[in-house]
Amino acid sequence: MGNRKREVFIEIPKGKRKKHLIEIWYEEIAPGVWQKIPGSEKDLGLAKDEDDKDNKTKK
């Protein structure tokens, strides 16, 4: 127990229009039971989207 893991995923935050990378840290509170660490959610900025690049070059 006491182990920590990091998760990074893509999401569109409320009030924003573009995809952002979001980082969240979790702590193992029991074997196989993970809990989000309060205040650990961090916006890492705009996500690079391959689809957007393709759409821009096709226009």
pLDDT in tens, the chain (59 residues): 779 999 998 988 788 789 999 999 999 999 999 999 999 999 998 988 655 554 454 44
Model-wide pTM > 0.85 = no
User: What's the CA angle centered on 13, arms 12 and 19, to 5 degrees?
Assistant: 30
Domain count, the chain: 1
Instruction: Give me the phi and psi of 51, to 5 degrees please.
Output: -65, -40
Q: What is the rounded distance in angstroms from the CA atom of residue 23 to the CA atom of residue 51?
A: 22
pLDDT value at residue 47: 86
pLDDT value at residue 21: 93
Residue 32: give the domain boundaries.
Answer: 4-58
* Full DSSP string of 30-45: ETTEEEEPTT--EEEE
pLDDT value at residue 28: 95
pLDDT value at residue 51: 54
